[in-house]
Structure 1
Amino acid sequence: MLKTSGKIFKIIRESKNMSLKEVAAGDISVAQLSRYERGMSGITVDAFYNCLKNMAVSLDEFQYVYHNYTEADDLVFSNRLSEAYRENNLVKLESILAECQALEKEFPKKKNYRLNTIIAMGTLSHCDQHFQVSKKDVDYLTDYLFSVDEWGRYELWLFTNSVDLLTSSTLETFASEMINRTQFYNNLPENRRRIIAMLLNVISVCIEENHLQVAMKFLNYMDNLKIPETELYERILIKFYKALYSYRVGGSYALTEMEQCLGTLEFLSAYGAAQRMKEQMERIVLPQLQICK
């Protein structure tokens, strides 16, 4: 790994047309940096970050090149799983689950492989009601999340994709503690996006299960996040869930707002998201209309 990272570092430095002296910039000796690039010795973390800064290269950019111009494995996996879910592709989801189970069996001591398997099972169960996740697996996931004091990108992803598996009390506890558990990371763009996705999932589940006080609590929190106008999908979902909440508490006028949100997604050709929104409206709106009749 030392030889590989040094080689990658050299590729980036040369692509910037910078000399060893320019990159070292007094933070490390030129000789030591040269040995690192040749795989002969390591450098401190501080020196590594300073040298990246001197090249105006972010850690994400370094990792992208390090992984042969592809995203890190966890991002590739989460993207594949999300894509299969959006497509409601049971064959693809079953294939992903089989891959997870194979890795878990090959590396039984690695927690993340078992956790990935549980999330894959949860995603499959969301698309196929006949598939169930065992209480033992849900407890394993819950215990892991409780054990981590500071949630990073991976923990946020786990929670975001498991809200349907958790009890309402556990869901509220985790969502409430999320702010404290992510305080060191929530300014990172990727983590911020995951926090927003997590909260939207929590709000959705709470509205469906009629935990309206909890739903309003997190809808109010979303208002304080000041989501940029460029993040249109998130803003549409927030508007939709506010209208769905209003409809739940008796605001029949909110149906028009929900239909506008649905129409916007369809206009933008976001048909998968629009279909899920339509299905959620049908699950909540139609029963209430029948009750009114």
Structure 2
Amino acid sequence: MSKSKDYTINPMLGIILKKLRKSKGCTLKEAAGSSFSSAHLSNFEHGKTELSSHLFLELLKNINVSIIEFQRYYENSLTSYNSNQVSNEDISSAHLTGNITKLNNVLSILESNSELDGSKHCKLEIIRIRAIISSINPSRVLPKEDIYQLKSYLLQLEEWGRYDISLLGQCCTNFDLGSLAILTDHMLNPCQSTITLESNQHILVQTVLNIMAFFIENKQYERANRLINYLKNIKVGEHYMLEKLIFIYNSAKLDYKLGDKSALKVLEKCENILEFCGCFDNANVLSKEITTFKNEK
């Protein structure tokens, strides 16, 4: 197959694969198996040749590494090698703690990178960070053009993947309520196969919880209750303990907003459990909201 003159092999794939192979205690022969030669694998690890996609997937299976694990390791490695790479963990942490200084720095890096990278993903990442900043500081209004691009991208999806689900969850407060309801229904379309994947279930629950909280905040109680019933029907697993706790909190918050003042005790109990578990950033978010409720009396 012909290659363009500017084409170069990405050595990072082989470097990372070699680290993972060795971490699993696998020899070249054990990793290659019967699919290809040890020499071919060695050349790949040293950036001298490539592997076809089906051989690469076979290789990952042979060393007991999932494609998701490899991608996460790859992204973390890029971040450590390149100061202009930003990890999702950094973004999520800055979002939770309201660290706008950090988010502004991330945005600056992305906007700088966009001069060389004109991909749709890069454009969406810039909009995502702007949207997160806007949710923390409402004076930083997300441009209408960004909202339109984001909405258009999400509405044309036939299958929602992990990135798309997370994107809606982090940007949900920037949409008008009607658009958000439409996008949420589109995301939860039962005809899809990707949202049922175990690897996507966690982020799906988190996103539904974010949207539910936003609906409650804006007195969209019927819409919020539909999401509560959705989570009840899919039966959030016990291994998602934080999400189960936030689900209980949001359900009690809806009850409180509908006039059940005894629900305040449930809200406080959720806060106490988070503090007991050492989840102080999350507990602080709940504490501020509970204080607001008490001051409304």
TM-score (norm 1): 0.83
Letter in 2 for 1:23: A
In 2 relative to 1, CA 54–277 (structure 1 residues): closer, same or farther, beyond 3 Å? same
Contact 1:93 1:124 in 2 (8 A): yes
- Aligned: 1:86 with 2:93: no
- Residue by residue over 1:112-167, the C-alpha shift from the partner in whole angstroms, topping out at 9 and shown as x without a partner, is 22222222222222222322112111111111111222121211121011110111
**Residue equivalent to 2:52:** 44
- Residue by residue over 1:40-99, the C-alpha shift from the partner in whole angstroms, topping out at 9 and shown as x without a partner, is 5433322221222122222234345545746799x9533222212222223222222222
Contact 1:152 1:182 in 2 (8 A): no
In 2 relative to 1, CA 25–67 (structure 1 residues): closer, same or farther, beyond 3 Å? same
- After TM superposition, give the deviation of residue 277 of structure 1 in Å: 1.9
**Residue equivalent to 1:116:** 125
In 2 relative to 1, CA 60–273 (structure 1 residues): closer, same or farther, beyond 3 Å? same
Q: Choose which of 165, 188, 197 in structure 2 pairs with 1:179.
A: 188
Q: Separation in 1 of the partners of 2:19 and 2:259?
A: 62
What's the secondary structure of 2:142's corresponding residue? coil
Q: Separation in 2 of the partners of 1:224 and 1:282?
A: 31
Q: Post-superposition, which runs of at least 4 consecutive aligned residues in structure 1 deviate over 6 A? A: 70-73
**Residue equivalent to 1:5:** 13
What's the secondary structure of 1:138's corresponding residue? helix
- After TM superposition, give the deviation of residue 222 of structure 1 in Å: 0.9
Letter in 2 for 1:87: T
Contact 2:274 2:283 in 1 (8 A): yes
- Aligned: 1:238 with 2:247: yes
Q: Separation in 2 of the partners of 1:90 and 1:64?
A: 25
Q: Separation in 2 of the partners of 1:42 and 1:146?
A: 36
C-alpha RMSD over aligned residues: 3.0
Contact 2:16 2:74 in 1 (8 A): yes
**Number of matched pairs:** 286
The 5 Å alignment of 1:43-82 reads 43-63=51-71, 66=74, 69=77, 76-82=86-92
- What residue ranges of structure 2 are gaps of 5+ in the alignment? 1-8
- After TM superposition, give the deviation of residue 18 of structure 1 in Å: 4.0
Letter in 2 for 1:151: W
Q: Separation in 2 of the partners of 1:34 and 1:222?
A: 47
In 2 relative to 1, CA 95–250 (structure 1 residues): closer, same or farther, beyond 3 Å? same
Contact 2:76 2:87 in 1 (8 A): no
Identity of aligned residues (%): 27
- Residue by residue over 1:194-224, the C-alpha shift from the partner in whole angstroms, topping out at 9 and shown as x without a partner, is 1011000110011111111111111011112
**Residue equivalent to 1:156:** 165
Q: Choose which of 208, 227, 241 in structure 2 pairs with 1:199.
A: 208
**Residue equivalent to 2:221:** 212
- After TM superposition, give the deviation of residue 108 of structure 1 in Å: 6.1
Letter in 2 for 1:272: D
What's the secondary structure of 1:162's corresponding residue? helix
Contact 2:253 2:267 in 1 (8 A): yes
- What residue ranges of structure 1 are gaps of 5+ in the alignment? none
Contact 1:64 1:71 in 2 (8 A): no
Q: Separation in 2 of the partners of 1:93 and 1:64?
A: 21
In 2 relative to 1, CA 5–265 (structure 1 residues): closer, same or farther, beyond 3 Å? closer
Moved more, 28-37 or 223-232: 28-37
Moved more, 21-30 or 77-86: 21-30
Letter in 2 for 1:56: N
The 5 Å alignment of 1:120-159 reads 120-159=129-168
- After TM superposition, give the deviation of residue 11 of structure 1 in Å: 4.8
Moved more, 231-240 or 39-48: 39-48
What's the secondary structure of 1:161's corresponding residue? helix
